[in-house]
Amino acid sequence: MNITRIESAPTYEAPNHFGMTCLRLQGREAGPADQMWMGMSIIEPGGYTTLDPSPMEKLYIVLEGELTLVSQTGDGPVQEMVLKTWDTARFAPGESRQLKNLTQQVVRVVITMPFEPPVKA
């Protein structure tokens, strides 16, 4: 078992993340993990990520606040959705995603994702 107390969770820098504090909850700097890691983003009002694709599947759960998610697959239409506390979202490998805090309250969201992209058959 590996326990990470929130007050000792290591911070990390994520590219193209602005107005956010990123904490590692499990895996990588937070301790051993075989297949995936978990982090928490604390997104200040006006904080955001850029709209970028990733080869990794990503799972999110909003713990606090209201988070605007933007997604796009390939050249398909841009979709925008608002998630509230306890709502969850999945982004498929290759799907572009953006997180935005358009409110005046802090947003806390947990992300879980694998270390490696899926193996193509």
Amino acid at residue number 74: G
**Could you read off the pLDDT of 1-49 as tens digits, one per residue?**
999 999 999 999 999 999 999 999 999 999 999 999 999 999 999 999 9
The pLDDT of residue 64 is: 98
Return d(Cα 71, Cα 97) in angstroms, integer: 5
Nearest of 93, 110, 101, 108 to residue 53 by alpha carbon: 93
Answer yes or no: pTM beyond 0.95.
no
The pLDDT of residue 56 is: 94
Residue 70's CB is within 10 A of a number of other CB atoms, namely 16
Return d(Cα 34, Cα 19) in angstroms, integer: 30
Return d(Cα 64, Cα 37) in angstroms, integer: 20
The pLDDT of residue 117 is: 87
Place of tokens 């005046």: 104
Q: Which pair of tokens denotes residue 35?
A: 């297949």
Q: For 6, which DSSP code?
A: G
**Could you read off the pLDDT of 59-111 as tens digits, one per residue?**
999 999 999 999 998 888 999 999 999 999 999 999 999 999 999 999 999 99
- The domains found in the chain, sorted by start residue, are 6-114 (2.60.120.10)
